[in-house]
Chain A
C-alpha cells in the first residue's frame, strides 16, 4: 500500500511540478525539445538523445499573448504562447509545432517572432493521410525534422537509434493502455485526477523511466482485489480534461473515468507505431493508422462508432465531451457523435473548458447535474 502511494505521489508530483524534472535534465546536460499539441514525432527527439517535453498550456492569465492572438483563439495555444513569451520555456533547445488546426498554424508563426530564443521547428501533417503519397510526404517532413535535430545536437541520428526509440515508445504505449484498463477496476484508488496525472507525468519524463514506474504501479494495484465502485462511470472525449479542478469535481460527485478518448491521453497511445526496416517510414505510416480523433481526416467519421463501442465495452454510464473553448476541430465532430450516442441512449454532457477563464462554478453545476441525472436514471 505504501509502495502504491509512493508511486502515485511521485507521478503526481512530476505532473504538477515538471520544472523539477526539467532541472534534473539540465544538470545532466541533456537537451530538451518542446512538443506542441497534439501529435509530434517524439521518437525522433528521443533517438537524438534529447528529452521530448509535452507543452499543453496551463491555467494562467493572458498578459502578453494577446499581442498576437485574438480573444477567440483556443486557450491551449494562447497559454502556451503566453508561457513562452514569459520565458518559461527558455531552456528548451527547440519546439516542434504541428499545424493541425488554424490556431496552431498561427501559433507557429507567432512563436517565431514572439519567442525567437526557442527555435521553431514546423511540422505539417498531410490531410489525405491514407494515400501512399501521404506517407512518403510525411516521411520527408520527419527527415527534415531529423536533420534539424541533428544540427541542434551536433551528431547524426542513426536508424538503429530511431528503431530503439520506437520500441521504447511502443512499450510505453502498451503500458499506458494496460494502466487505463486496470484503472477501471480500481476507481476508488485511481481517482479521475490521479489517472490524469499518471498519464500526464509521461510528458515530462524519459519514457523508459515512466514505463518502469507505471508498470510498478500496475503490479502494486493488482496486489489488491478489484474495488467495488458505487458511483457512476463516464468516458471523457475531446482534446484534454483540464484545468485540474474539473477532474476533482468528477470525484466530488461520484463519477469515475471508465475510459478516455482525449488527445492528451489515450489518443496518444491507443495505436502503436508500425515497426519495420525503415523507422522514419514507420513513424510516417503511424499517422495513417491512427483513428478516431477530430484532427485526423476521416470522411466516415468513425469516431462516433468508436465512442459508442467504448461506452458499451467499458460499461460507462455516460460520455462527457470536454470541448476546449473555440476548438473548431472538436466542435465539428460533436453533432456527429451526439446523434449516434443519442440513438444509443448513452447520456452525453457538453462541457466547454477554458484554461484562462474557467468559470468553474458553472462547470460544477453541469457536472453535478449530469451526475444526478445518470444516478437517478437507473
Chain B
C-alpha cells in the first residue's frame, strides 16, 4: 500500500511518499508554503518521480499550517501529532520534540508509543522562529545556511533581545553600525532564538531524548547552543524538515490498514 504525507508550512511544502509504511519512495521540498502553488507542485513532483498517479496512493494526509487548504488530502492532522509520529519512527526513545518552523516554534512532550502527552506553541511573534533567522541573515548579508559557521567564529558574543523581531532588527543594525564584529552579532542571534525556544521547552519539562525538527535543526550552532541551554544532548531529526510529512505518511498508512 502506498500512502503520502503533505506538510504545508508557512515557508515551504514537504511531501513524503511511503510504501507499506516503511520504504520511502520519494521526498520533495519546495520552498514556498501555505497559500501558494507549492503544495500541489510538491505533491505532483513526488508522485511523478516514481511514476505514480493520485489513484495509486491509498491515503493522503495533509498537515502543517496550510493543511486545511490542500484539496488533494483524505484527512488533515496537525503538525504536532505528525511530528510526534515521524520523530518516534526515527528516534524511538524520543521524549521531547522541539520544532522550530518558519513562523512558529513548538515544544512537544511524547508519551507511550509516540503519542503527544503535552504541547506548547509560540506563534505570537517571529522571535524564536525560522523567520527571525531569515530576517537577521539578510541584515548580515549572508545566506541563512552560513549563519551557523559565522556564529561559531565569534569571540565576544553579544546579547540580542528575544522578545520582538522588530526591536531585535534595529538592535542588530545599531550593533553593526557601531562596529561590532558580524560573527559576534551572529552568535547573539543564535543565542536569542535558543533562549526564546528553550523557555518554551522548559515549560513542558525537558526529558531526554530531546529531538529537534523543522528546517532550523539544520543549523548546527542552534543545536549546540540548545544543548548547553537545556543541559541535555539534543539530536537533530535525521529527516529535518521532512519529519512532519513522514509522520503524516505513517499515520496515513496506519489509518488505511
Contact = CB atoms under 8 A, between A and B. Distances in A.
Interface of A: 347, 350, 359, 361-362, 364-366, 368-369, 372-373, 376-377
A361 B65 contact: yes
Contacts of B116: 369, 372-373, 376
Among A366, A369, A372, A377, chain B packs the most CB atoms within 10 A around the CB of A369
A373 B77 contact: no
B180 interface: no
Contacts of B77: 368, 372
A371 B123 CA distance: 19
Nearest to A370: B119
Nearest to A350: B120
B115 interface: yes
Given A376-B115, A377-B111, A362 B121 contact: yes
16 contacts: A347-B118, A350-B120, A361-B65, A365-B65, A365-B78, A365-B79, A368-B76, A369-B81, A369-B116, A372-B80, A373-B81, A373-B115, A373-B116, A373-B117, A376-B116, A377-B115
Interface in B102-124: 104, 111, 115-121, 123
A41 B118 CA distance: 41
B119 A369 contact: yes
Given A365-B65, A365-B79, A368-B78, A373 B121 contact: no
Contacts of A376: 81, 115-116
A361 B66 CA distance: 9
Contacts of A361: 65
A373 B78 CA distance: 10
6 nearest A-B pairs in the assembled complex, by CB-CB distance:
A369-B80, A373-B116, A369-B78, A372-B81, A362-B123, A376-B115
Interface string B202-223: 0000000000000000000000
Contacts of B78: 365, 368-369, 372
A84 to B, nearest CB: 28
A372 B248 CA distance: 13
A366 B76 CA distance: 14
Contacts of B120: 350
Contacts of B119: 369, 373
Interface string B6-27: 0000000000000000000000
A376 B116 CA distance: 8
A368 B80 CA distance: 9
A350 B107 CA distance: 14
Among A365, A366, A368, A377, chain B packs the most CB atoms within 10 A around the CB of A365
Nearest to A345: B117
A171 B68 CA distance: 45
A365 B121 contact: yes
A378 to B, nearest CB: 10
Contacts of B79: 365
Given A359-B123, A373-B116, A373-B119, A365 B111 contact: no
A248 to B, nearest CB: 13
B209 to A, nearest CB: 20
B114 to A, nearest CB: 9
Interface string B52-85: 0000000000000100100000001111110000
Nearest to A348: B118
Nearest to B34: A361
A362 B68 CA distance: 12
Contacts of A362: 104, 121, 123
A365 B82 CA distance: 12
Contacts of A347: 118
Contacts of A377: 111, 115, 117
Nearest to A361: B65
Contacts of B81: 369, 372-373, 376
A359 B77 CA distance: 19
A125 B76 CA distance: 48
A361 to B, nearest CB: 7
A315 to B, nearest CB: 20
B116 to A, nearest CB: 4
Nearest to B112: A377
Nearest to B115: A376
B88 to A, nearest CB: 12
A364 B116 CA distance: 17
B83 to A, nearest CB: 10
